[in-house]
Amino acid sequence: MMDSEGRDVIHHPPAEQRLVRIFGRFLAYVIVTLGAVVMIVPFLWMASTAFKEGGSAFDYPPTWIPNPITLDNFREVWTIVPFDRYLFNSLFIAVCVTIGEVLTSSLAAYAFARLRFPGRDAMFLMYLATLMIPGQVTIIPNFILMRYLGWINTYEGLIIPTAFTAFGTFLLRQYFLSIPRELEEAARVDGASYFQVWSRIIMPLASPAIATLAVFSFMGAWNSFLWPFIMVNTPEMRTLTVALRSFQTDYGTEWGLMMAGSLIAMLPMLVIFLMAQRYFVRGIATTGFGGR
Amino acid sequence: MTETTAKSPTRGRMSIGRRETVAGYLFLLPNVIGFIVFTAFAVVASAAISLTSWDLLSDPEFVGVQNYIDLLTNDPLFRTVLWNTFYFTVVSVPASTAIALGLALMFNTGLRAIPLFRAAYFLPVITATVVVALIWRWFYNPDFGILNYVLYELGVDTPPNWLASRTWAMPSVIILSVWKQVGYNMVIFLAGLQAIPTTLYEAASIDGAGRWERFRNITLPLLTPTTFFVLVISIIGSLQVFDAVLVLTDGGPANATRTIVFHIWEQAFVFLEMGYAAAVAWILFILVFLVTILQWKLQKRWVHYEA
């Protein structure tokens, strides 16, 4: 099949083929561009409203470019609600959840991937089985437990129950299994403890997987809503997502303020995405589960 | 490995196997404590709660499987909830899968400026659902929103009343969800496409296969594991839709967008019907389980794993 005769078969008349290819590519560009516009337009509409003066959000016909461009909405959002506190809450919770998840998952993943001990495989199967359980099944008993512990409206209540995931352990275990054993064995021969092997060999070698897990834990915690929504009933403990929801309940028609708040709430994640884009893409491409 | 470490004299009295066992348990401990308390124990507790009538203010009262009997035989609202969730899933999953596949195929032909486009498709994925739902609520606004203005300019004389319309409320939630999900599914499809060996296409071209035949006989079959995967995670995600519904419509109008998780949340945390809500959560779990099992069974018929 690979001989020169066979190769001739694939050549259509060149002009026609080139035309088809150019047209196809042109069409692909048009569709992909239109799609990108559809993705962006609601955000542009948000930004346009956020920078508009008081009443001009309700101009008819609607205008895209605010005239004049003003920061009034941002100033007002900041005065009527403690937005800096909400930013801090979201950031603090997301950072703690990320650190907790990466640490506990990587320790457990190392045990599952490398150490032999009784009950390991049964335990791992239990972890796998729970990946399928929807979070709403555990949310009611966990809420009741938090109430019993007096952790409602506390950082520990917002952080601890969400900082352990079977998913993170599973993801890292799969990656650890792909790391060649020779390096660890050499270190063990030199007298390194299991903990040193984990901290000095496995963790550095697994840094792409660690970064992926960290990025997704952070995004999951930053964007999470249901758990903080039920756990918080004092204004000062609200996270950004919960604050936006109460903002909607209290100032439902103040679109300028709500869009300014939304813009502030999405910016940190956007910055992280632009810096860590490849980890997002890799995480989704290799696991498909990230952020769920 | 074990034999070489055994020679080390500083290792104390424990045998190698014992030491490895202790280390294994210690490494697992932090994660396992959380896992046992917040997942394993919680699952059992949730099953137990679903057998009670409990408002958190007084002691739980054991009612057996009464919550389930009520839900399945005597609860028209729950039937609406199931129907709404089904409607949402059956439309949004095929839509987001097909659009994502189409886009991935186009990206895979090697378009330039891909990073820029990829960022555009990713913006909805990385933004909190609460935030994008708030944005779309304004976007859908029938009086001042840009969407109906554009529709009007395009010649639609009476554009839909979107979120306030019983007919259009669910499609509005679906449009938002598809829009948010497409970029995510697209990346999974792109990874699947890039894993298909180019030699297969070259061989097929030599055999005289045209574009369509190559797509039909190579791309589609070899992409079935990816498609299967996207379908499974999309269906599981769709059965759990909540944030978007809460912010866009509050389950309304007239329960037209009340979904399973919205129902769980309202019953448990607004009306404090913990037993009833836990029973609904377990029905959701069973649904997710059945869907996953069904897909595993069906995949043998259409998923090709060997290259």
Average pLDDT over residues B35-57: 92
Task: Name residues whose C-beta falls within 8 Å of residue B21's C-beta, 6 or more positions apart in sequence.
Answer: A115, A116, A117, A118
Q: Name the minimum distance, in Å, from the CA of A113 to any CA of chain B.
A: 10
Contact A60 B144 (CB under 8 A): yes
In chain A, ranges of CATH 1.10.3720.10 domains: 79-287
Residue B11 pLDDT > 60: no
Cis peptide, bond prior to residue A204, ω within 30 of zero = no
Q: How confident is the model at residue B94 (pLDDT cuts 50, 70, 90)?
A: very high
Least CA distance to B35: which residue of chain A?
Answer: A164
- Chain A residues close to B139, C-beta within 8 Å: 42, 45
Tokens of A133: 């359980």
Reported ipTM: the value is 0.86
Average pLDDT over residues B159-174: 91
Contact A143 B269 (CB under 8 A): yes
Q: What is the pLDDT of residues A2-57, one digit of tens each?
A: 444 444 445 555 677 778 778 878 888 888 889 999 999 999 989 988 898 877 77
Residue B155 pLDDT > 50: yes
Is the CB of A40 inside 8 Å of chain B's CB atoms?
A: yes
B 231-250 residues with CB below 8 A of A? Answer: 233, 236-237, 239-240, 242-243, 246-247
Instruction: Give residue B269's region: left, alpha or beta (phi > 0; psi -120 to 50).
Output: alpha
Give the helix ranges, DSSP H, for A81-206: 83-114, 120-130, 135-149, 155-159, 166-177, 182-189, 194-196, 203-205
Distances (CA, A) of A32 to A15, B82, B117: 26, 35, 8
Which string of b and e fits A228-257 if b means at least 16 CB within 10 Å? bbbbbeeeebbbbbbbbbebbeebeebbbb
pTM of the model: 0.88
Task: Name residues whose C-beta falls within 8 Å of residue A100's C-beta, 6 or more positions apart in sequence.
Answer: A159, A160, A163, A164
A 146-205 residues with CB below 8 A of B? Answer: 147, 160-161, 163-164, 166, 169, 181, 185, 188-189, 191, 194-195, 198
- Chain A residues close to B261, C-beta within 8 Å: 136, 226
Is the CB of B21 inside 8 Å of chain A's CB atoms?
A: yes
B71-302: CATH homologous superfamily? MetI-like (1.10.3720.10)
Residue B78 pLDDT > 90: yes
Least CA distance to A259: which residue of chain B?
Answer: B135
Contact A108 B27 (CB under 8 A): yes
Instruction: Give B27-44 as a DSSP string.
Output: HHHHHHHHHIIIIIIHHH
CATH fold of the domain at A79-287: MetI-like fold (1.10.3720)
- Chain B residues close to A39, C-beta within 8 Å: 120-121, 123-124, 179, 182-183
Contact A244 B237 (CB under 8 A): no
Instruction: Give B255-277 as a DSSP string.
Output: TTT--HHHHHHHHHHTS--HHHH
Contact B138 A259 (CB under 8 A): yes
Percent of residues, chain A, with pLDDT higher than 70? 92
Tokens of A14: 């060149």
Instruction: Give A238-291 as a DSSP string.
Output: --HHHHHHHHHHHSTT-HHHHHHHHHHHHHHHHHHHHHSHHHHHHHHHHHS-TT
Q: What is the pLDDT of residues A87-104, one digit of tens each?
A: 999 999 999 999 999 999
Contact B124 A39 (CB under 8 A): yes
Report the length, in residues, of chain A: 292
In chain B, ranges of CATH 1.10.3720.10 domains: 71-302
Tokens of B99: 């659009």
Residue B242: which of B178, B286, B177, B181 has the closest Cα?
Answer: B177
Contact A280 B40 (CB under 8 A): no
Q: What is the pLDDT of residues A110-131, one digit of tens each?
A: 999 999 999 899 999 888 888 7
Tokens of A165: 């995931």
Q: What is the pLDDT of residues B167-182, one digit of tens each?
A: 999 999 999 999 999 9
Q: Name the minimum distance, in Å, from the CA of A241 to any CA of chain B.
A: 6
A 65-84 residues with CB below 8 A of B? Answer: none
Q: How confident is the model at residue A292 (pLDDT cuts 50, 70, 90)?
A: very low
